[in-house]
Amino acid sequence: MNRREQRRSSRAGVAGAAVAVLVAVSAAAGCSSLNSGSGGKAASAPTASTPTVSTSKCGTKPGVKATGSPIVLGGITTKEPGTDFSDIGTTAAAYFDCVNDNGGINGHPVKYYPETEQTNPSQIASLAHQLVSTDHAVGIVGSSSIIECSVDNSYWKKEGFYVLGAGIDPECWSTPNTISVNMGPRYSSDGAVAHALNSHVSKIAFDQSNVPGTTYIAGGPNALAKAKHVPIQDFTENVPLTSANSVAIKLANAAGPSGAVVLNFTPPEALLILQAAQKLGLEDKVKEWGCSTPCNTDFLAKALGPKWNGKFFVNAELTPLNGDTSQTAGLYQAILAKYGKNVTGGVGSFSQMGFTDAEIATHALETVKGAYTVKSVNAAFKNIKNYVSGMQCQAFTYGNYSEHIPNNMDYTVTPDNGKMVLTQGCTAIPSVDPQIAAYRKLAGTAPQASSSGSGS
């Protein structure tokens, strides 16, 4: 596929779906301790509908198309068999299309290039140079790649870019010029393992796709298990999976009847393992099944069915949407309905990440006075402070730090008859993960977000 074909249309078509009606489940506002939990029961609340929110809310001039000179932005995501993060960039594109139809950013439309790559370092480096030198991008937003941060970090630093993305590889968290709205696979896996430990399991079987960075990712879960004196066994699988049955049997045997299986895979691969476990009658053979954030999607909950109600617990880095009656949730769904026909996974964590990246970028861009240049745009990104996106437990700050883990407080969700619903509210990722401890020592703990859809 050539580069032109890889690009998404900058003007997504209108889809006819209406904003979904959801079952209200009030998100717990209080921050839980490591030892808190819900005993495996989904939170419940009276039924209500998510408010219908007009897409005009994404701009300052409803219904007025932006006509000024464009602000060029780009992003790079992995899209290959077994691993697809492209919904992040595609949703960011949908958000910017909405902004462009409603006044733009200070009258300027956003021209956004969401590029995809196949874990090829030379391809990734070429795309970064192309965005800067040929497309004249002044900001990088919505990047999410297995190795892009490690490949391009020195280039972004040299060119003066402060990237706003959704990280995967270690350099997305440990370098000064890249920040992520999500926790990424390590800290999200921390959250899933912490929930299992709170359920007093006797052992953890932790499995993930065999891609670059597995040792780094497993470091967090292993630190948490060690601190609780619980044995943990690490596994990796080549993806796409060829024998999900054997993987499910292996993991159930490794965990044992009082243990937990925790997965770190994209939704299609995790689903294969869980469906194999169900087919083989293994869903009740361990105490708990868990997963990192990618499993937080109604696509997976619907495919699994009611047998997994209250048995499968998924880390949610961003606000659970079923039952969320906030303006942010309504706008997110309205944008997906009107502009997101190319978002293949629909409602789920990946599209939430793209929405949040674009929303925070839009907020920062609105603060720029004068011309939109690499210098002015990236200064605005770096100056983001205590922004409440409505999608995160904590206020979001970029800041002048040597590393960035701004999202280090999570939720837990569980399937409930085809929907992912809240079972545990905002819970800090344990600081026994040494990287979390180092970041909190450097930057402190950001204030917990107490309201949705507003910023400062």
Decide which of 267, 296, 316 is a domain's last residue.
316
Q: Does 453 fall in a domain?
A: no
Give the torsion through C-alpha atoms of 402, 407, 409, 414, to 10 deg: -140
**pLDDT-derived band at 132, boundaries 50, 70, 90:** very high
Q: Does 72 fall in a domain?
A: yes
Decide which of 316, 341, 361 is a domain's last residue.
316
Six-digit token string for 237: 């699988």
Peptide bond just before 240 cis, omega within 30 deg: yes
- Which of 185-189, 261-265, 415-419, 431-435 has the lowest average pLDDT? 415-419
Burial zone of 371 (CB within 10 Å; 0-12 exposed, 13-18 middle, 19+ buried): exposed
Distance CA 339, CA 357 (A): 16
Burial zone of 229 (CB within 10 Å; 0-12 exposed, 13-18 middle, 19+ buried): exposed
Mean pLDDT of 75-103: 96
Q: What is the pLDDT of residue 212?
A: 86
Task: Note whether 429 and 187 are within 8 A (CB).
Answer: yes
H/E element, 336: helix 327-339
- Residue type for 17, please? A
Distance CA 376, CA 245 (A): 53
Task: Kindly tell me if the per-residue pLDDT of 1 is higher than 80.
Answer: no
Q: Indicate whether 288 and 343 sit together in one domain.
A: no
Q: Does 42 fall in a domain?
A: no
Q: Does 16 fall in a domain?
A: no
Task: Note whether 59 and 102 are within 8 A (CB).
Answer: yes
Six-digit token string for 369: 């006075």
Mean pLDDT of 283-288: 97
Distance CA 292, CA 317 (A): 9
Task: Note whether 198 and 228 are within 8 A (CB).
Answer: no
What ranges make up the beta strands (E) of 270-352? Answer: 288-291, 312-316
Decide which of 372, 392, 407 is a domain's last residue.
407
Strand order in the sheet with 419-428: 232-237, 204-209, 260-264, 288-291, 312-316, 409-416, 419-428
Distance CA 404, CA 384 (A): 13
- Over residues 216-229, the pLDDT tens digits come to 999 999 999 999 99
Mean pLDDT of 314-334: 91
Q: Does 3 fall in a domain?
A: no
Q: Indicate whether 306 and 249 sit together in one domain.
A: yes
Q: Which residue has the tokens 């437990």?
A: 393
Of all residues in the chain, the percent with pLDDT exceeding 90 is 80
- Domain with 213, as residue range(s), is 185-316
pTM score: 0.83
- Over residues 155-196, the pLDDT tens digits come to 999 999 999 999 999 999 999 999 999 999 999 999 999 999
Q: What is the pLDDT of residue 11?
A: 32
Q: Indicate whether 306 and 221 sit together in one domain.
A: yes
Task: Kindly tell me if the per-residue pLDDT of 66 is higher than 90.
Answer: yes
DSSP line for 71-128: EEEEEEEEEETTEE-HHHHHHHHHHHHHHHTTTTBTTBPEEEEEEEE-S-HHHHHHHH
Q: Indicate whether 141 and 173 sit together in one domain.
A: yes
Task: Note whether 179 and 212 are within 8 A (CB).
Answer: no
Nearest Cα to Cα of residue 356 among 164, 177, 222: 164
For residue 315, what are the CA distances in angstroms to 33, 267, 303?
Answer: 15, 13, 18
**pLDDT-derived band at 14, boundaries 50, 70, 90:** very low
Task: Note whether 360 and 396 are within 8 A (CB).
Answer: yes
Six-digit token string for 74: 């780009």
**pLDDT-derived band at 448, boundaries 50, 70, 90:** confident
Task: Kindly tell me if the per-residue pLDDT of 351 is higher than 90.
Answer: yes
- Over residues 32-57, the pLDDT tens digits come to 322 223 333 332 222 234 457 899 99
Cα angle 340, 70, 9; round to 5: 30
Q: Indicate whether 196 and 285 sit together in one domain.
A: yes
Mean pLDDT of 258-273: 96
Q: Indicate whether 331 and 343 sit together in one domain.
A: yes
- When divided into structural domains, the chain yields a total of 2
Q: Indicate whether 257 and 246 sit together in one domain.
A: yes
**Sign of the four-CA dihedral 296, 293, 15, 364:** positive
Mean pLDDT of 261-275: 96
Q: Does 428 fall in a domain?
A: no
Q: Indicate whether 90 and 171 sit together in one domain.
A: yes
Q: Indicate whether 171 and 230 sit together in one domain.
A: no
Task: Note whether 118 and 178 are within 8 A (CB).
Answer: no
Q: Indicate whether 326 and 403 sit together in one domain.
A: yes
Mean pLDDT of 385-414: 95
Q: What is the pLDDT of residue 366?
A: 97
Task: Note whether 58 and 390 are within 8 A (CB).
Answer: no
Q: Does 448 fall in a domain?
A: no
Q: Indicate whether 330 and 368 sit together in one domain.
A: yes
User: In CATH, what number is assigned to the domain containing residue 202?
Assistant: 3.40.50.2300
Q: Does 18 fall in a domain?
A: no
Q: Indicate whether 75 and 224 sit together in one domain.
A: no
Mean pLDDT of 315-326: 89
Q: Average pLDDT of the chain?
A: 87
